[in-house]
């Protein structure tokens, strides 16, 4: 059985649903990001599906707003962020 990463590399990604928005950080993430509780952050949620509509990836992440640059490009139906 292929792992999710192997499925994505093999081109089995069918579609993605993605949400990217500004928010404020909570204490547990603030500590990990070395910023103050309540500081601005960028929040990303993404769900990736294969052609059978099965979820093969789910991402829920936060990034420092003062150090994040986003650039998207489609590569085999995947988006790449820098």
Reading the chain (82 residues) residue by residue, the pLDDT tens digits are 666 666 555 557 788 899 989 999 999 999 999 999 999 999 999 999 888 888 889 999 999 999 888 777 665 555 444 4
Distance CA 79, CA 82 (A): 10
CB neighbours of residue 78 within 10 Å = 15
Residue reference for tokens 């936060």? 62
């Amino acid at each position: 059985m292929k792992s999710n990463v192997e499925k994505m590399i093999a081109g089995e990604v069918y579609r993605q649903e993605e949400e990217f928005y500004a928010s404020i950080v909570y204490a547990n993430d603030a500590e990990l990001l070395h910023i103050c509780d309540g500081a601005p952050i960028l929040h990303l949620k993404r769900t990736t599906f294969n052609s059978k509509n099965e979820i093969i990836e789910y991402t829920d992440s936060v990034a420092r707003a003062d150090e994040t640059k986003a650039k998207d490009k489609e590569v085999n139906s995947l988006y790449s962020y820098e």
